[in-house]
């Protein structure tokens, strides 16, 4: 099986801080692959590299065998890497539907002028996109809120819109940065189940950055652990839970050989 995403020796520095330091791992298609690690470990920086916001100083990133290391963010999006942000970046005054349609702009053929003139081709195209937006909203239980301004939804609802907007770009790989941060236990379980539906029904591979260990351990196929910009472990949830280096990183102490 060839990997959907491969990182090799990825490095990002901010002044003296090595936010990423030789990060190497790969993501298999059809999996939920989580990246975990203490605060400041480099997780968000990693997603920024993958989506083309930051450039790696060294190393290489391949998506579907294509070198995307120095590709611009919009091209990476068009290749099929969609992203939801750690802090909600939606237009609160606009409706859920409008926000999801914004997510589809990169896919639309009709230009600004054709749309503005309401040419038949543009109207037809918009209808097809609207149908798809309804389908995606349905997967995330957002259909009843399509006409509501995003700002009127609950916090959990808004986080779901953020995921839906990333999915509206029809990504093959969905990057999620702390999708359940600030949610209660019930909402977390609910979002976990929605992510599994997304994985299975929409054929999307998920790269998940998340602090909630219960969620990470229950839904991940594979986990990569970062600490101070370095990848210190890579494996299935059970192995990660028992890895002394991982336990040490979270406790802020050097790894010991003891296991609980
Ligand atoms: N734009 C930036 N300018 C300067 N330093 C930065 C920038 N972005 C991140 N850093 C630094 O890089 C390191 C990694 O940060 P990053 O945000 O990737 O961590 P993280 O793992 O996402 O943390 P958290 O779990 O708190 O979200 C930190 O030391 C951070 O202060
Ligand atoms: Mg972060």
pLDDT at 120: 76
* Ligand 1 pocket member 42 (CB < 6 A): yes
Percentage with pLDDT > 90 across the chain: 68
- Distance, in Å, from the CA atom of 25 to the CA atom of 84, rounded to the nearest integer, reads 21
- Distance, in Å, from the CA atom of 131 to the CA atom of 7, rounded to the nearest integer, reads 36
126-155 pLDDT tens trace: 888 999 999 999 999 999 999 999 999 998
How far does the centroid of ligand 1 lie from the alpha carbon of residue 40, in Å? 5
58-102 pLDDT tens trace: 999 999 999 999 999 989 988 999 987 655 566 778 999 998 998
DSSP H or E segment with residue 215 = helix 213-219
Residue 125 pLDDT more than 70? yes
Q: Using N-to-C axis directions, what is the helix angle for 120-139 and 185-201, rounded to 10°?
A: 130
pLDDT at 1: 60
Please give the average per-residue pLDDT across 100-121, as a whole number. Answer: 71
Q: Give the chain's largest Cα–Cα span.
A: 70
The neighbour count for residue 196, using CB atoms within 10 Å, is 14
Q: For the residues of 167-184, what is the DSSP string, one character each?
A: HHT--SEEEEESTTTT--
Percentage with pLDDT > 70 across the chain: 89
Residue minimizing CA distance to atom 18 of ligand 1:
42
In terms of Cα–Cα distance, which of 89, 88, 86 is closest to 44? 86
Higher pLDDT, 206 or 158: 206
Residue minimizing CA distance to atom 29 of ligand 1:
40
How far does the centroid of ligand 2 lie from the alpha carbon of residue 128, in Å? 35
* Ligand 1 pocket member 244 (CB < 6 A): no
41-55 pLDDT tens trace: 999 999 999 999 999
Residue 254 pLDDT more than 70? no
Sign of CA dihedral 151, 156, 157, 163: positive
Most confident of 19-28, 73-82, 100-109, 198-207: 19-28
**Quick check: 170 and 139 in contact, CB under 8 A?**
no
219-236 pLDDT tens trace: 999 999 999 999 999 999
pLDDT at 86: 54
- Distance, in Å, from the CA atom of 207 to the CA atom of 193, rounded to the nearest integer, reads 16
pLDDT at 257: 47
Residue minimizing CA distance to atom 2 of ligand 1:
14
- Distance, in Å, from the CA atom of 55 to the CA atom of 64, rounded to the nearest integer, reads 19
Beta-bridge mates of residue 230:
227
Beta pairing, strands 17-27 & 230-235: unpaired
Mean pLDDT computed over every residue of the chain: 89
**For the chain, which domains are there?**
1-80+172-260 (3.40.50.300), 94-170 (no CATH)
């Amino acid at each position: 099986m060839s990997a959907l995403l491969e990182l090799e020796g990825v490095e990002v520095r901010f002044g003296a801080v090595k936010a990423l330091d030789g990060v190497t791992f790969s993501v298999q298609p059809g999996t939920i692959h989580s990246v975990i690690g203490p605060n400041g470990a480099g997780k968000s920086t990693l997603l920024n590299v993958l989506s083309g916001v930051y450039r790696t100083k060294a190393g290489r990133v391949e998506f579907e065998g294509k070198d995307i290391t120095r590709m611009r963010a919009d091209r990476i999006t068009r290749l099929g890497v969609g992203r939801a942000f750690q802090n909600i970046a939606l237009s609160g005054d606009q409706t859920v539907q409008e926000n999801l349609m914004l997510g589809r702009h990169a896919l639309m053929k009709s230009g600004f002028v054709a749309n503005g003139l309401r040419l038949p081709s543009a109207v037809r195209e918009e209808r097809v996109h609207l149908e798809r937006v309804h389908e995606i909203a349905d997967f995330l239980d957002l259909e009843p809120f399509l006409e509501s301004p995003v700002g009127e939804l609950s916090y959990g609802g808004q986080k779901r819109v953020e995921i839906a907007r990333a999915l509206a770009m029809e990504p093959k790989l969905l990057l999620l940065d702390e999708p359940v941060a600030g949610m209660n236990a019930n909402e977390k379980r609910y979002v976990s189940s929605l992510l599994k539906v997304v994985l299975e029904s929409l054929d999307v591979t998920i790269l998940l950055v998340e602090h909630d260990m219960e969620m990470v351990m229950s839904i991940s196929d594979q986990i990569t652990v970062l600490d101070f910009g370095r990848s210190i472990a890579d494996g299935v949830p059970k192995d990660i839970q028992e890895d002394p280096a991982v336990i040490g990183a979270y406790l802020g102490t050097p790894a010991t050989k003891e296991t609980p």
